[in-house]
């Protein structure tokens, strides 16, 4: 979903520019330049292949820290410019998935106790538990007041990545827990020199969050979107894979668009358009 030059919402996967993109990936697939397990493997399989020097490029963008012990062999390239001059790096997250946010529902019978728990997580002690784990087990505190991970975490003997090894002790690696996430208490892979270099490489192409519409939907709109989205998303995902792998010929593109338009795309777009128009007036 995005906004066209006239301020109207559109489903970009029906645009001819998207078709061109699929043609490019289909060309890579035919030439054997894409892993034939690209659409079925999980992260652990990718890490295993990177560790075994079976991967030359991985589209994980500024996350080379996930690529195991050989992560330093991977260098973040700049964001590529498309044939139409597009050059963007976009990353968005839901508000409730951000660090430091939480909600207490009206059904909570113990809001005071819940707030005491939240207050602890925001404290230095709580944040250290969330970010670093347990002293002596995953980290130590140096004489100068700084913190350091134990060697068995930094260089896991079983081949785990840094974040995977920390995940045995640090709660942060398991979800978006509210806490005071500051660099002082952060020794995750996000602080690795190679990660910072990767971030600096893509930073010029990063779209500012204030330029990305922050849409809000009513309860009724959310229900409608849910009923539309499942079939639409499934259809799109399945066909994108088939177009790339050649299971479906791109000569049937018009048929694909026509089939998609039968799936109440107009209703789907209308809800997004209403939310976008409201955001524009804020």
For the chain, what is the mean pLDDT?
A: 86
Closest to 62 (Cα-Cα) out of 262, 270, 204: 204
Report the percentage of the chain scoring pLDDT > 90.
41
pLDDT, tens digit, 9 for 90 and up, residues 72-93 = 778 888 888 888 888 887 765 5
Q: Give the pLDDT confidence score for residue 96 in this predicted structure.
A: 47
Residue range 59-71: mean pLDDT, rounded: 65
Q: Give the pLDDT confidence score for residue 21 in this predicted structure.
A: 93
Phi, psi of 68 (to 5 degrees): 75, -160
Asked if residue 242 and residue 103 are part of one domain, the reply reads no
Asked if residue 51 and residue 119 are part of one domain, the reply reads no
d(CA 193, CA 189) in angstroms, rounded, equals: 9
Asked if residue 229 and residue 271 are part of one domain, the reply reads yes
State which of 167, 188, 205 marks the end of a domain. 205
Asked if residue 277 and residue 223 are part of one domain, the reply reads yes
Q: Give the pLDDT confidence score for residue 182 in this predicted structure.
A: 80
Asked if residue 79 and residue 215 are part of one domain, the reply reads yes
State which of 205, 232, 251 marks the end of a domain. 205
Asked if residue 78 and residue 22 are part of one domain, the reply reads yes
Q: For residue 143, give the CATH number of its domain.
A: 3.40.190.10
d(CA 61, CA 59) in angstroms, rounded, equals: 6
Q: Domain tally for the chain?
A: 2
- The residue among 95 and 56 whose pLDDT is bigger is 56
Based on the number of CB atoms within 10 Å of its own CB, is 74 exposed (0-12), middle (13-18) or buried (19 or more)? buried
- The residue among 30 and 71 whose pLDDT is bigger is 30
Q: What domain range includes position 54?
A: 2-91+209-281
**Structure-derived torsion over alpha carbons of residues 77, 82, 87, 92, reported in degrees to the nearest 10:** -90
Q: Are 271 and 221 in contact (CB under 8 A)?
A: yes
Asked if residue 40 and residue 28 are part of one domain, the reply reads yes
Asked if residue 195 and residue 121 are part of one domain, the reply reads yes
pLDDT, tens digit, 9 for 90 and up, residues 177-215 = 888 878 788 887 777 777 788 888 888 888 776 777 788
Asked if residue 199 and residue 102 are part of one domain, the reply reads yes
- The residue among 98 and 37 whose pLDDT is bigger is 37
d(CA 105, CA 85) in angstroms, rounded, equals: 46
State which of 205, 237, 264 marks the end of a domain. 205
Instruction: Enter the pTM of the model.
Output: 0.73
Residue 136 half-sphere exposure toward CB, CA atoms < 13 A: 0
Asked if residue 276 and residue 235 are part of one domain, the reply reads yes
Could you tell me which residues come within 8 angstroms of residue 134 by beta carbon, excluding any fewer than 6 positions away? 169
Cα 202 from chain centroid? 15
Report the percentage of the chain scoring pLDDT > 70.
91
Residue range 45-71: mean pLDDT, rounded: 75
pLDDT, tens digit, 9 for 90 and up, residues 88-106 = 877 655 544 555 678 899 9
d(CA 61, CA 45) in angstroms, rounded, equals: 17
Q: Give the pLDDT confidence score for residue 126 in this predicted structure.
A: 93
Q: Give the pLDDT confidence score for residue 60 in this predicted structure.
A: 65
């Amino acid at each position: 979903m995005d906004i066209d030059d006239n301020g109207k919402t559109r489903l970009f996967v029906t645009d001819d520019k998207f078709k061109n993109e699929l043609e490019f990936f289909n060309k890579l697939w035919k030439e054997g330049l894409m892993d034939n397990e690209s659409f079925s493997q999980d992260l652990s399989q990718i890490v295993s292949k990177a560790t075994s020097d079976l991967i030359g490029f991985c589209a994980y963008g500024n996350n080379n820290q996930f690529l195991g012990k050989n992560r330093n062999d991977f260098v973040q390239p700049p964001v590529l410019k498309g044939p139409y001059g597009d050059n963007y790096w976009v990353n968005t997250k839901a508000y409730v998935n951000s660090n430091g946010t939480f909600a207490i529902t009206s059904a909570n019978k113990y809001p005071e106790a819940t707030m005491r728990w939240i207050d602890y997580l925001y404290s230095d002690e709580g944040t250290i538990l969330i970010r670093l784990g347990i002293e002596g087990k995953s980290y130590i505190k140096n004489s100068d007041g700084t913190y350091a991970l134990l060697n068995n975490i930094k260089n896991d003997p079983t081949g785990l990545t840094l974040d995977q090894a920390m995940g045995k002790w640090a709660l942060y690696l398991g979800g978006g827990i509210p806490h005071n996430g500051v660099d002082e208490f952060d020794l995750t892979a996000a602080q690795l020199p190679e990660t910072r270099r990767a971030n600096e490489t893509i930073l010029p192409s990063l779209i500012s969050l204030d330029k990305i519409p922050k849409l809000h939907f009513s309860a009724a709109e959310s229900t409608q979107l849910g009923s539309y989205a499942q079939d639409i998303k499934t259809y799109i995902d399945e066909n994108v894979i088939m177009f790339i792998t050649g299971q479906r010929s791109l000569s049937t593109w018009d048929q694909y668009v026509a089939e998609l338009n039968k799936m109440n795309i107009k209703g789907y777009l209308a809800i997004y358009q209403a939310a976008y128009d409201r955001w524009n007036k804020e």
